[in-house]
């Protein structure tokens, strides 16, 4: 009756051999193609470095003015602009300016990359039920797999640095934008689509004139979620060499520096709130045509 | 109420684009082709649904819609009327049959041809308006031309003209949600007219509007039609609307045409009990024309009586008689030549529902 109390499992030597052969296979793959893959990501590396250089070498008053201007154009709301400026001033006053700029630069690149990859995938998903049924489980894995686990193959392939960090963050943060693009397009009113067809729209015209504009508020919600998840991932990504606010947090954990951890944590919260309010206000402004409903 | 000013309009040339629908069948379900022969051999709608789980949408539809006329297709919900109109621009593919427009079969067009056909030959107005909510009235109105790739200046010129014509002057920069239902449908109409296609498809276009606005929109359409002379296919569930608008009416029931003809044909000679039950509530004085009930020839010594043209409805003739304090009136043809006469008694007896019909109803 032993098998009732102990789960009958694969015998230990086979299991070890299995793990070993997969590991060795992957290691061989990294040795053979690692350099090629690394050079494939060179443009990303360049983009990351340029963006980080811009954020850290530009004088701080210009950066603050720039962020305030973006906040104003997106939200048209003085309260949001004022709180963004105050948050940034506080961050600078507590000597976290450079780290914060590195993080903002990282988040910016991650978001751009997620949008550039996520929206086309979302559009394809909305057009084909079969593609949707393939992509959905992949997204489920990406969202539920503990993020430390997929750091391993990324680091094996690309080593430690900005690019592997970027890839890890994008994998973690991209699912909401893909899902919400797909959902937004699928929820577009069938009557309006039929009208577009009746006037002889090609499928590109349908996408450009009807589906994307009507799905845009939903897509904006996806972008907002993506930014928030990217920020949450920044601390974990600092473990593989991403610079910014994550590294002091990591140092604080290792050495039990409560205040250091708290300050940097709050700085992350601060920029998260700025990003969130600004992108939400922009999303709401996109829906302005829906506001005045005729009674 | 909106006045339509004729001098702002442009297109007046009647273009000869008639529509002929031949032996059209539509079966909804997983494998419609498998049952088409059985349906053609006379399998009923109920039998098809019960035995094979397929729904018969349309059976053997034959309609000839002459160019420049308003063809009304009337039927209650589920009669297949919306399915039928969608076959004309092939938003729905038929299971069998032909839809001939300018001698070209729409059913046989490939995707590119169909797109060109929809862009240049047809325009559609929808029951639920189906406007683009993120675009202003003006931007909605240019939609058809934008899709065709017409230069922007021309798009705006045509759109502005039609916006004025449907009575939306001054609302160009409003969003659809800021307008009432009646005004939204004016946008729908302006959008369709700006497309300048010879065929105008109107799918229960006025059904979602309240009665006064609906009457108003019917007048707008009739006034416009005098001048644009498009081939209009108008779907409705309302017989009064059908009689008011339709040069010709086809009545659809359970996917089959039960009767087609002019409004007068249908009111005077309903094909079956189903149609007579509709017709009995109709204001006959507005449908029957003087020539139908007049006595040919002039009445002896009846000179000096007022005269109406053939094609005048009874209500109008009765009003003239009342105003002129006479009990008889002459009827003249298009050239002014007298062709017959008619008296008040025959007008009234034609206007009231025939007694035999009521008696028949009471007996049932």
Nearest chain B residue (CA) to A192 = B130
Q: Where are the beta strands (DSSP E) in B262-313?
A: 295-296, 307-309
Dig out the tokens for A136 from the structure.
């959905």
Q: Is the pLDDT of residue A75 over 60?
A: yes
Alpha-carbon Rg for chain B in angstroms: 23
Overall domain count for chain A: 1
Dig out the tokens for B214 from the structure.
């609906």
Does residue A223 sit within a domain?
A: yes
H or E segment to which residue B72 belongs:
strand B70-74
B264 and B329 fall within a common domain = no
Dig out the tokens for A174 from the structure.
């991209």
Q: For all residues of chain B together, what is the average pLDDT? A: 85
Name the CA dihedral angle for B328, B333, B336, B341, rounded to a multiple of 10 degrees.
-20
Cβ of A290 within 8 Å of Cβ of B177? The answer is yes
| SS3 call for A178 | helix
Does residue A2 sit within a domain?
A: no
Q: What is the CATH number of the domain that holds B272?
A: 3.40.50.300
Q: Is the pLDDT of residue B275 over 70?
A: yes
Torsion sign over Cα A147, A150, A152, A157: negative
Dig out the tokens for B296 from the structure.
């040919």
Contacts of B304 (CB under 8 A, 6+ apart): none
B176 and B53 fall within a common domain = yes
Q: State in Å, rounded, how far the first CA of chain A is from the last one.
A: 74
Cβ of A202 within 8 Å of Cβ of B119? The answer is no
Give the end of a domain, one of B218, B251, B280.
B280
Q: Is the pLDDT of residue A97 over 90?
A: yes
Tell me how far apart the alpha carbons of residues A243 and B63 are, in angstroms, rounded to a whole number: 74
3-state percent helix, strand, coil for chain A, nearest multiple of 5: 85, 0, 15
Integer CA distances (angstroms), B81 to A134, A191, B216, B282, in order = 39, 17, 23, 21
- In this prediction, residue A147 carries a pLDDT of 80
Does residue A21 sit within a domain?
A: no
Q: Which residue has the tokens 């340029």?
A: A50
B-chain CB neighbours of A196 within 8 Å are 143
B62 and B84 fall within a common domain = yes
Q: State in Å, rounded, how far the first CA of chain B is from the last one.
A: 44
Torsion sign over Cα B161, B166, B169, B170: negative
Q: Which backbone phi and psi does B301 adopt, to 5 degrees?
A: 65, 20
B58 and B127 fall within a common domain = yes
Does residue A30 sit within a domain?
A: no
| SS3 call for B34 | helix
Q: What is the mean pLDDT of residues A52-78?
A: 93
pLDDT in tens, A134-178: 999 999 998 888 888 878 888 888 888 888 899 889 999 999 999
Does residue A111 sit within a domain?
A: yes
Does residue A153 sit within a domain?
A: yes
B-chain CB neighbours of A291 within 8 Å are 177
pLDDT in tens, A250-280: 999 999 999 999 999 999 999 999 999 999 8
- In this prediction, residue B305 carries a pLDDT of 79
Integer CA distances (angstroms), B82 to A165, B209, B254, in order = 56, 18, 12
Give the end of a domain, one of B254, B280, B306.
B280
B334 and B257 fall within a common domain = no
Helices (H), ranges, B124-262: 137-141, 143-148, 152-165, 181-194, 211-228, 239-245
Overall domain count for chain B: 2
Q: Is the pLDDT of residue B258 over 70?
A: yes
Q: Is the pLDDT of residue B2 over 80?
A: no
pLDDT in tens, B176-228: 998 988 899 999 999 999 988 999 999 999 998 888 889 989 999 999 998 88
The ipTM of this complex is 0.80
Confidence bin at A293 (pLDDT 50/70/90): low
Does residue B210 sit within a domain?
A: yes
B65 and B162 fall within a common domain = yes
What's CA A138's distance to the chain center, in Å?
A: 16
Specify whether the CB–CB gap between B224 and B47 falls below 8 A. no
B173 and B302 fall within a common domain = no
- Closest CA–CA distance from residue A189 to any residue of chain B (Å): 8
- Closest CA–CA distance from residue A291 to any residue of chain B (Å): 8
Q: What is the CATH number of the domain that holds B325?
A: 3.10.580.10
Nearest-CB residue to B178 (from A200, A205, A294): A294
Q: Is the pLDDT of residue B44 over 90?
A: no
pLDDT in tens, B110-169: 999 999 999 999 999 999 999 999 999 999 999 999 999 999 999 999 999 999 988 899
Burial class (CB in 10 A: 0-12, 13-18, 19+), B13: exposed
B65 and B186 fall within a common domain = yes
Q: Which of A95, A91, A94, A108 is nearest to A55 (CA)?
A: A108
Altogether, the residues listed in chain A come to a count of: 295
- Closest CA–CA distance from residue A293 to any residue of chain B (Å): 5
Q: State the residue range of the domain holding A76.
A: 41-294
Tell me how far apart the alpha carbons of residues B354 and B276 are, in angstroms, rounded to a whole number: 11
Q: What is the CATH number of the domain that holds A128?
A: 1.10.3720.10
Which B-chain residues 141-170 have CB contacts (< 8 A) with chain A? 143-144, 146-148
Tell me how far apart the alpha carbons of residues B5 and B309 are, in angstroms, rounded to a whole number: 26
Q: Is the pLDDT of residue A121 over 60?
A: yes
Higher pLDDT, A288 or B51: B51
Helices (H), ranges, B16-126: 36-40, 45-52, 81-88, 111-120
- In this prediction, residue B9 carries a pLDDT of 36
Nearest-CB residue to A191 (from B115, B128, B143): B128
Does residue B200 sit within a domain?
A: yes
Q: Which residue has the tokens 């019917």?
A: B218
- In this prediction, residue B4 carries a pLDDT of 41
Does residue B356 sit within a domain?
A: no
Does residue A17 sit within a domain?
A: no
Integer CA distances (angstroms), B209 to A132, A160, A194, B124, in order = 40, 66, 21, 17
Specify whether the CB–CB gap between A246 and A238 falls below 8 A. yes
Does residue B303 sit within a domain?
A: yes
Does residue B14 sit within a domain?
A: no
Cβ of A194 within 8 Å of Cβ of B122? The answer is no
Q: Is the pLDDT of residue B359 over 60?
A: no
Does residue A231 sit within a domain?
A: yes
Angle between helices A147-158 and A212-237 (to 10 degrees): 80
Q: State the residue range of the domain holding B32.
A: 19-280
Give the end of a domain, one of B280, B307, B322.
B280
B142 and B82 fall within a common domain = yes
A-chain CB neighbours of B115 within 8 Å are 200-202
B-chain CB neighbours of A292 within 8 Å are 175, 177-178
Contacts of A285 (CB under 8 A, 6+ apart): A74, A75, A76
Specify whether the CB–CB gap between A219 and A260 falls below 8 A. no
- Closest CA–CA distance from residue B35 to any residue of chain A (Å): 28
B301 and B205 fall within a common domain = no
Dig out the tokens for B17 from the structure.
């684009």
B-chain CB neighbours of A189 within 8 Å are 130
Q: Which residue has the tokens 């002019």?
A: B262
Q: Are strands B328-332 and B96-101 parallel, antiparallel or unpaired?
A: unpaired
Q: Which of B132, B142, B191 to mutate to test the interface with A (most CBs of A within 10 A)?
A: B132
B-chain CB neighbours of A199 within 8 Å are 118-119, 123-124, 143-144, 147, 195
A-chain CB neighbours of B176 within 8 Å are 289
Tell me how far apart the alpha carbons of residues A282 and A272 are, in angstroms, rounded to a whole number: 15
Q: Which of the 8 DSSP states describes residue B298?
A: P
pLDDT in tens, B293-328: 888 877 665 567 788 888 888 888 888 888 888 888
Torsion sign over Cα A53, A59, A60, A63: negative
The answer, for B124 touching chain A at a CB cutoff of 8 Å, is yes
Cβ of A201 within 8 Å of Cβ of B147? The answer is yes
B344 and B259 fall within a common domain = no
Dig out the tokens for A230 from the structure.
């990217």
B313 and B208 fall within a common domain = no
């Amino acid at each position: 009756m032993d098998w009732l109390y102990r789960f009958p499992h694969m015998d230990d030597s086979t299991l070890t051999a299995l793990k070993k052969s997969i590991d060795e296979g992957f290691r061989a793959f990294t040795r053979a193609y690692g350099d090629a893959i690394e050079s494939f990501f060179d443009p990303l590396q360049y983009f990351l470095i340029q963006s980080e250089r811009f954020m850290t070498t530009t004088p701080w008053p210009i950066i603050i003015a720039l962020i305030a201007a973006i906040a104003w154009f997106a939200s048209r709301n003085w309260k949001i602009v004022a709180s963004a400026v105050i948050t940034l001033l506080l961050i600078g006053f507590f000597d976290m300016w450079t780290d914060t700029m590195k993080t903002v630069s990282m988040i910016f690149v991650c978001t751009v990359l997620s949008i550039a990859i996520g929206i086309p995938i979302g559009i394809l998903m909305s057009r084909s039920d079969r593609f949707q049924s393939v992509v959905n489980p992949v997204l489920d894995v990406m969202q539920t797999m503990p993020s430390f686990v997929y750091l391993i193959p990324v680091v094996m392939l690309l080593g430690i640095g900005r690019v592997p960090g970027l890839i890890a963050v994008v994998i973690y943060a991209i699912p909401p934008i893909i899902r919400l693009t797909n959902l937004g397009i699928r929820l577009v009113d069938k009557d309006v689509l039929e009208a577009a067809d009746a006037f002889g729209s090609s499928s590109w015209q349908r996408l450009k004139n009807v589906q994307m504009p009507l799905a845009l508020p939903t897509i904006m919600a996806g972008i907002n979620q993506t930014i928030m998840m990217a920020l949450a991932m920044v601390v974990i990504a600092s473990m593989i060499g991403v610079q910014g606010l994550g590294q002091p947090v990591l140092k604080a954990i290792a050495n039990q520096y409560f205040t250091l951890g708290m300050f940097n944590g709050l700085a992350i919260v601060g920029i998260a709130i700025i990003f969130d309010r600004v992108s939400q206000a922009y999303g709401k402004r996109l829906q302005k045509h829906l506001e005045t409903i005729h009674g | 109420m909106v006045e339509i000013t004729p001098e702002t309009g442009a297109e007046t040339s009647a273009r000869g684009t008639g529509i002929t629908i031949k032996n059209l069948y539509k079966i909804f379900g997983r494998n419609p082709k498998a049952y088409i022969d059985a349906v053609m051999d006379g399998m009923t709608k109920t039998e098809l649904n019960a035995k094979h789980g397929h729904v018969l949408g349309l059976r053997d539809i034959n309609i000839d819609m002459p160019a420049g006329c308003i063809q009304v297709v009337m039927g209650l919900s589920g009669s297949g009327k919306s399915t039928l109109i969608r076959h004309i621009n092939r938003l729905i593919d038929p299971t069998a049959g032909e839809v001939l427009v300018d001698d070209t079969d729409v059913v046989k067009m490939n995707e590119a041809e169909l797109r060109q056909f929809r862009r240049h030959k047809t325009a559609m107005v929808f029951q639920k308006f189906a406007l683009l909510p993120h675009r202003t009235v003006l931007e909605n109105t240019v939609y058809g031309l934008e899709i065709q790739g017409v230069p922007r200046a021309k798009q705006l010129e045509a759109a502005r003209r039609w916006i004025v014509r449907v009575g939306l002057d001054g609302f160009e920069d409003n969003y659809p949600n800021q307008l009432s239902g009646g005004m939204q449908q004016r946008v729908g109409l302006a959008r369709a007219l700006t497309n300048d296609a010879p065929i105008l498809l109107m799918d229960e276009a006025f059904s979602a509007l309240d009665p006064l606005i609906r009457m108003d929109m019917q007048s707008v359409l009739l006034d416009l039609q005098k001048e644009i002379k498009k081939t209009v296919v108008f779907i409705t569930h309302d017989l009064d609307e059908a009689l008011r608008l339709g040069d010709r009416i086809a009545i659809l029931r359970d996917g089959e045409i039960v009767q087609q003809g002019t409004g007068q044909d249908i009111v005077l000679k309903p094909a079956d009990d189903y149609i007579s039950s509709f017709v009995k509530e109709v204001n006959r004085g507005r449908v029957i024309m003087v020539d139908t009930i007049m006595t040919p020839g002039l009445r002896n010594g009846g000179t000096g009586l007022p005269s109406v043209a053939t094609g005048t409805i009874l209500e109008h003739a009765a009003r003239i008689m009342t105003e002129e304090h006479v009990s008889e009136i002459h009827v003249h043809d298009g050239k002014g030549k007298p062709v017959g006469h008619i008296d008040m008694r025959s007008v009234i007896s034609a206007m009231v529902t025939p007694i035999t019909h009521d008696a028949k109803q009471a007996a049932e």
